[in-house]
Amino acid sequence: MSVTVVETIAELRAALEGRTVALVPTMGALHDGHLALVNRAAELADTVVVSIFVNPLQFGPNEDLDKYPRTLADDLVKLDAAGVEFVFAPSVDEMYPTGPSQTRVTAGQVGTLFEGRSRPGHFDGMLTVVAKLLGIVRPASVLFGQKDAQQVFLVQRMVADLDVATSVEVVPTVREQNGLALSSRNRYLDEREKRAALALSTALEAAQSSGDRGIDAVLAAAQSVLMGENLVRLDYLSVVNPATFLPVDDDYRGRARVLIAARVGETRLIDNELIHLGG
């Protein structure tokens, strides 16, 4: 294997000295969605760094931190095949040597909505680790997937608000042929649940094709798909203005993003799609 695994901040900084870097932050358990980010990163910079770090700061007390899939050996094979030069895989102690960091980035109002409402503190933890990774790697570009739309919005906001010298690149959601958005958590699903999980992408398609009939029709179309699947328990379904990430008013017209979070069995999944609200 020619990929170099670096576990310490000092070694990574030394290895990257003088290079132009594109960074792909991940929590590992890599799939083709992550690899789409890696491939785009290779177009943007000569040196690609993929970080693999399951960040305790962004998991709530009752979430799947301990259970989150850790598949480093498999991940390295995939990243090596994709031509990645450096993998940064620090320990929790390396990232938080004095315990959970006292200084945090706070996500603000949008950080308390949707994923933030279901997962209090999640976005502060996510932004804090992303800020640390940007400080460690100092990449010219950093890549995120549209699959995590609220994360993308908040990272873009942080980079603008804190004048971080990097370009945030967003990569479209990679899906299975049947529409299911790839996710590290899909591996928790059994066959029945996997079929039921298709309701999320099907609901988004229904929402998309109802856009011309206005917001109520969009919500009704998505809801009827989600309600039709009894293994799916909806957490939230909302339509937001892409510029503010706040729910749209009834008279809003133009581009909007439909957000869905749902539990399928014990597994919590999210998905989203851009629509055009007319009518």
Q: Rg of the chain's alpha carbons, rounded to an integer?
A: 19
- Structural contact between residues 104 and 129, judged by C-beta atoms closer than 8 angstroms: no
On whether 246 is known to bind a ligand per the annotation, the reply is no
Which of the residues 147 through 166 are near ligand AMP (CB under 6 A)?
147-148
Strand order in the sheet with 232-240: 232-240, 254-264, 267-277
Distance CA 136, CA 194 (A): 38
CB of 278 to ligand AMP, least distance (A): 27
User: By CB under 6 A, is residue 174 in contact with ligand AMP?
Assistant: yes
28 labelled ligand-binding: yes
By CB neighbour count within 10 A (0-12 exposed, 13-18 middle, 19+ buried), where does 30 fall? buried
Judged by CB under 6 A, the residue of 141, 173, 201, 210 near ligand AMP is 173
Cβ 36 to ligand AMP shortest distance, Å: 5
269 touches ligand AMP by CB under 6 A: no
In this chain, which residue has its C-beta nearest to ligand AMP? 145
What are the C-alpha distances in Å from 233 to residues 16, 97, 104, 114, 224? 45, 39, 32, 15, 13
Using the contact rule CB under 6 A, the part of the chain among 73-81, 177-185, 223-231, 239-247 near ligand AMP is 177-185
Does the footprint of ligand AMP cover residue 271 (CB under 6 A)?
no
Is residue 181 close enough to count as binding ligand AMP by CB under 6 A? yes
**Least CB distance from residue 111 to ligand AMP, whole Å?**
16
Rank residues 88 and 215 by Cβ distance to ligand AMP and give the closer one.
Answer: 88
- As a whole number of angstroms, the longest Cα–Cα distance in the chain is 57
- State the nearest-atom distance from the C-beta of 203 to ligand AMP, in Å: 17
- Backbone phi and psi for residue 249, each to the nearest 5 degrees, phi listed first: -75, 165
Query: Which residue stretch of 5-13, 25-33, 101-109, 190-198 sits at the interface with ligand AMP (rule: CB under 6 A)?
Result: 25-33
What mask of x and - would describe binding to ligand AMP in positions 108 to 147, judged by CB under 6 A?
------------------------------------xx-x
Question: What residues form DSSP beta bridges with 47?
Answer: 21
Residues 31-70 that bind ligand AMP (CB under 6 A): 33-34, 36-37
CA dist., res. 134 & res. 155, Å (int)? 11
Tokens of 203: 């609901």
What is the sign, positive or negative, of the torsion defined by CA atoms of 251, 112, 243, 226? negative
Rounded distance between C-alpha atoms, residue 176 and residue 184, angstroms: 13
168 contributes a contact to ligand AMP by CB under 6 A: no
Binding range to ligand AMP, per CB under 6 A, among 30-38, 86-94, 227-235, 245-253: 30-38
Binding site for ligand AMP (CB under 6 A): 26-27, 33-34, 36-37, 144-145, 147-148, 171, 173-174, 181-184
